[in-house]
A and B are shown apart, each in its own frame.
Chain A
Amino acid sequence: MSFIKLLFLVFASSAVLSAFMMITTRNTVYAALYLVLTFFSTALTWLLLEAEFLSIVLILVYVGAVMVLFLFVVMMLDINTAATREGFVRFLPLGAGVAIIMMLEMSLVLGPKLFGLDVYPAPMPKSADYSNTEAIGSVLYTVYVYPFEIAAVILLVAMVAAIMLTLRRRPDTKYQDAAAQAKVRRADRVRIVKMPAVQRVNDAAQQGEGS
C-alpha cells in the first residue's frame, strides 16, 4: 500500500466518521465542530486528487466563513435536546424510508458501473509547475463564462432578497451618521461672540459715585 493510499484512507475515514458523529452528537457546538472536521478531511482528500484550488477554497469558504457564522449562532442558542428528541420514534419509519431511497439512488448513480477505473481511468499525475488554479480560472472565464456569471447574479438576487425580507425600519434607534459627523464644521457647533471689554474698576467706581 502506497503512502498516498494510506493518507487517503486516514482522511476518508475521518471524513465519514466525523460526519456520522455530527448527526449523532447531542451537543450542538460539538456538531458544528465535527462538521468543520468533515470539511477539513474532505479538503485533504481533494488535495490528494491534485485539486488544490478546490481544496483550499473549501477550507477558506466553508471552514473560514460559513462555519464561523454557524458557530456564532449555535453558541448563543440554548437548545433543549430532550425536546428535539421527543418525536424520534414517531418519525423513525419516515426518516428510515427516505434514507433508504436516497442510498439506493446514490448507489445507482455512483456505483462502480459508472465510476469504475475502466470508465474513468486515473488521471496522469501533473508536473510540479502545473497550476490547477490557473486551469480552472481560464476555463471558468472562457468556456463557462455565461453559466458562471448567471450563477453569480442569482446569488446576488438571493442575497438582496434575504436582506430585504429581514430589514425593518426602526426610526427610534439612535444611529450615528458618520458622513454627517465628518461634514461638521466649526461654525455648526461653536459661535464666537465678540463683546466689548469690561470697563476698568476705577471707572466703574466713579460711575457708582456719579449715580
Chain B
Amino acid sequence: MAEFLSPLLNLFPEGMRAIVLILIQIMLVVMPLVIAVAYTTYAERKIIGYMQVRIGPNRVGPIGLFQPFADVFKLMFKEIIIPSAANKFIFFTAPVVILFAALVAWAVVPFDDGWVIADVNAGLLYVLAVGAAGVYGVILAGWASNSKYALLGGLRSAAHKIAYELAMGFALVGVLMASQSLNLQEIVRAQSGSILHWYWLPLLPMFVVYFISGVAETNRAPFDIAEGESEIVAGFHVEYSGMGFVLFMLAEYASMILISALTAVMFLGGWLSPFQGTFLEPVFAWIPGIFWMFAKIAILLFLFIWFRATFPRYRYDQIMRLGWKVLIPVTLVWIVVEGVAVYFKLGPWFA
C-alpha cells in the first residue's frame, strides 16, 4: 500500500512519514466502515421488512437509499438529555469506550494478502482482549444513567458477556491449534487449498460456537437481553438521546461487521477465492481477494439480520444455560478431538 502513496508522503518531513502513513491507513479502514454501518442499518430494515411482508424504508431517495443519512441527521439535531442524577463524566465516556472497542480491533484484520494496518504476531489474542474491553461501555452506561432499567441492562450484559467470551476463547484455541499461528494473515494462508480446506469444515463445531457467541457478544437478537424492550424498555441506553444514541448504534453495527470479518478470516478463508483448487480458479483469478472478503462479510451480516427476524429473544436463564452448559462443553470436546487429529496428522487438514 505504501507504494502508491509515496508522492503524497514525500510532502511530509522524514520523521512524520510513518505516522502520516498510519493515519491514512486508519482513515482508509474507518471511513468505509462508517458507510458500511450506515448501509447495514438500511439493509437490516429492508431485509426484515421483506421477511415480514412489508416494504421497509422507501421514501428518502430512490428505494429509500438515503434513509440512513436522514436518520443520522435527525439524531444529530435532537436534544441531548442528561438525567438529573446521572454521573455526567461516565455518562458521556461510556459511548466513547464502546465505540473505541468496536473500532480498535480492526487494526489487525487483514482484508487481502498484506492489506492490514498492523501485522501483529499475537493478533488472535489482541482481538480477544479488545473485545473483552467492550463490555465496559455497556456496564458504565447502565450505571451512569442512574436508572433502574439501565442498571439492569448493564448487569445482564456483564454476566452474559463473560459466559460467551469463554466459549469464544475456546473456539479460537481450536483455530490456533489448526493453523499453528496467532497471526491472522498466517491463519488465512494456512487455510489455502480449496473451499474444503477452510476451517469451517474441520472445525465445524467451533465455527458454529464462535458465530453464536459473536451474536451474543454484539448484543444482537436473540441475545439482546441487555436492551430487551419488552421487560426493561431499552436497557443500558434507555437514557441516551441524540449523539450518544448514535454512538451506541454505530458501535453495535461496527462490532457486528467486525465479528463477521473475524469469522470470515478464521473459518471462511478470508480473502481466498472459493474456487481455489477447482477448474474455475483461472476463470475467476482476475477478481481481487478483497472482493471475496467483502462477499463473505456480507453473507455473515445477512445471517445476523436473518437471526433477528427469525428467533424470539432468549430468557436470561436460557442464555446462561446455552453458554455454560452447551457451547463451552462442545468446544472442549472438539479441542480434544482436534488434538488427536493434529497428533496423528489426520489428512488433509492437519497433515
Contacts and interface: CB of A to CB of B under 8 A. Distances in A.
Interface stretch (B120-128, B292-300, B329-337): B120-128
Interface residues of B, number: 28
Instruction: State which size class the interface on A falls in.
Output: 20 to 34
A68 B162 contact: yes
B121 A75 contact: no
B256 interface: no
Interface in B163-189: 165, 182
B132 A59 contact: yes
Interface string B126-163: 10110111011001101100000001001100110110
A57 to B, nearest CB: 7
A64 B182 contact: no
Given A53-B125, A68-B139, A133-B121, A75 B132 contact: no
A133 B122 contact: yes
A33, A64, A71 — which one has the most chain B CB atoms within 10 A of its CB? A64
A60 B182 CA distance: 15
Interface in A10-65: 29, 33, 36, 52-53, 56-57, 59-60, 63-65
A64 to B, nearest CB: 2
Contacts of B88: none
B135 A68 contact: yes
B159 A131 contact: no
Contacts of A178: 321
Given A75-B139, A133-B121, A59 B133 contact: yes
Given A53-B122, A57-B125, A76-B155, A68 B136 contact: yes
Contact of A64 (B133, B151, B317): B133
Contacts of B158: 68-69, 71-72
A136 to B, nearest CB: 11
B139 A64 contact: no
A53 B124 CA distance: 11
A56 B139 contact: no
Contacts of A65: 132, 162, 165
Nearest to A130: B121
A71 B182 contact: no
A118 interface: no
A152 B167 CA distance: 19
Contacts of A133: 121-122, 125, 182
A129 interface: yes
Given A52-B122, A65-B162, A72 B155 contact: yes
Contact of A75 (B129, B133, B155, B317): B155
Nearest to B317: A176
B129 A60 contact: yes
Contacts of B90: 29, 33
Given A53-B125, A69-B158, A131-B121, 15 more contacts: A29-B143, A33-B90, A36-B136, A52-B120, A56-B125, A57-B129, A60-B129, A64-B129, A65-B132, A68-B139, A71-B143, A71-B158, A72-B139, A75-B143, A133-B121
16 contacts: A29-B90, A52-B122, A63-B129, A64-B132, A64-B135, A68-B158, A68-B162, A71-B139, A71-B158, A75-B151, A129-B121, A132-B122, A133-B121, A133-B122, A133-B182, A178-B321
